[in-house]
Structure 1
């Protein structure tokens, strides 16, 4: 096993361990009442939301502990992950009953001076993405593109989180190839892959769900890894794909909300 392979394996295992430890701790000592962390999924089955904070903190801890990630990249990724997870937690805990769907509905509310849960996520995750991009890249164009990729990937993972295993599977599928890259990009990919792998079984067996907290946090971590491993051409392609996915998802959300 090469040094790079050992480093990637250590990053994945570190994220797995941190995620499982946080989830076990929350199950034993749930913040507030245990019922606060319970939801009914699409089948009406009661599941817990512990996977969300656990994956967010597990991914952030793995990045922070990695010796292969430079300080600026660590700061950028941890910022993006915790901010995205925090915005998702606001939606999970405070504003989960907002009936409005799609970016357009929330942007319309913002224009009228109303802050919705979707507005909080759009503004908060967008700002965190741009801040992370400013740390990860040099030059205005690359920094803006990086911000779009980080925020866009966070929204993408949340967009596919409609059935058990889909968001986790997306993170694993998109993150696994990044493990083959050298330097910081591969080390950063290890964090969301390990955190997602830690909750995969329970997610598939309908015992837990990521919620907006985990989906946004894992997506932001994945986005930071993508940014680190790509130059301008790659950033443009990823940004274009993510904007297209967001536009298509917005139409689907609005159609579902109208049905």
Structure 2
């Protein structure tokens, strides 16, 4: 009986994390719909079909995820701080790109890095550097030792970019978060508790996102991905970090070529 109690507490923490993220995400989205920051038109976009949808799901998932992690007593303080930092920074960089980069035709890492080399700071460049720096800062809180910290940072930032990379059609980004995050709920410790937040936030908006009534934009995609990356980093040792980092860098390189060729966002 003594051996089952920690498992029960861990399971309860994951359930609370999912439900907390669902509730916080829905509350933020409802609040933004009623009292949109600035003009309502700032939060409207045309999707791939030309239909006008709102962007409220992006800030809602970012803030809902961060709130759920911050409130989770099942996650150690350092890991909690790392995840909240990564989520808010990634979401903030994504929000800047959603607002400032909406008319920028450049796509892919190479285009934005090329602009930086020429002295031009694009919204995509801000996003690339900002999320990279936030990932490294989160990695420094999640792990000990320079190598593991850098690898964890790559995993956090790389997962944030991966989720954004697949966000080209309704439901794909949130579906990816659910598919990658749900298995983590079966694990114990900080990793399982951290995975609960992005899973809950993604579940809260999945129906409206898939139903073409909202979109999470770069704000939500990067925030959810960063949270998922923090969970992955927390649950893996060096071998796992190397494998995940290698896969994410490869995916980013392949996705960069596809983005430049097809004009995906």
Give the TM-score normalised by the residue count of structure 2: 0.95
What's the counterpart of residue 56 of structure 1?
Answer: 62
> Equivalents in 2 of 1:217, 1:24: separation in Å?
19
Q: Which one is further off, 159-168 or 6-15?
A: 6-15
How far, CA to CA, are the matches of 1:66 and 1:92 in structure 2?
29
Match of 1:195 in 2: 201
Contact in 1 for aligned 2:101/2:124 (Cα 8 Å): no
> What secondary structure, in the 3-state scheme, does the structure 2 residue paired with 1:215 have?
helix
1:105 and 1:210 map into 2 onto residues whose CA distance is 23
Q: Cα RMSD between the aligned structures? A: 1.2
Deviation at 1:257, TM superposition (A): 3.7
- Structure 2 CA distance, aligned partners of 1:77 and 1:258? 28
> What SS does structure 1 have at the residue aligned with 2:45?
strand
The residue aligned with 1:215 is 221
Q: Distance in 1 between matches of 2:33 and 2:244?
A: 37
Distance 2:264 2:141 in 1: 40
Measured after TM superposition, the shift of residue 5 of structure 1 is 2.1
Give the whole-Å Cα distance in 2 for the aligned partners of 1:222 and 1:100.
27
1:21 aligns with 2:27: yes
Once residues 130 and 231 of structure 2 are traced to their aligned partners in structure 1, the CA distance between those partners, rounded to angstroms, is 20
Which sits farther off after the overlay, 55-64 or 248-257?
248-257
Q: Distance in 2 between matches of 1:138 and 1:189?
A: 21
Q: Distance in 1 between matches of 2:217 and 2:54?
A: 9
Preserved contact between residue 195 and residue 228 of structure 2 (Cα < 8 Å): yes
CA 1:68 to 1:104, structure 2 compared with 1: closer, same or farther past 3 Å?
Answer: same
TM-score between both structures, scaled by the size of structure 1? 0.97
Q: Quick one: distance in 1 between partners of 2:101 and 2:108?
A: 15
Kept in 1: contact 2:53–2:212 (CA 8 A): yes
**In structure 2, what is the Cα distance between the partners aligned to 1:77 and 1:207?**
29
Q: Cα offset for 1:258? A: 11
Cα distance change, pair 258–66 in 1 and its aligned pair in 2 (3 A): closer
Rounded to whole Å, the distance in 1 between the matches of 2:241 and 2:11 is 26
Q: Would you identify which runs of 4 or more consecutive aligned residues in structure 1 move more than 6 Å?
A: none
The question of whether the paired residues in 1 share the 8 Å contact of 2:136 and 2:150 is answered with yes
**For 1:258, what is the secondary structure of its paired residue?**
coil
Deviation at 1:118, TM superposition (A): 1.2
| Residues 59-111 of structure 1, C-alpha deviations (whole Å, 9 max, x = no match) | 00000000011111111100000000000000111221111111111111111
Contact 2:90–2:130 at 8 Å: present in 1 too? Answer: yes
CA contact (8 A) 2:112 2:124 kept: yes
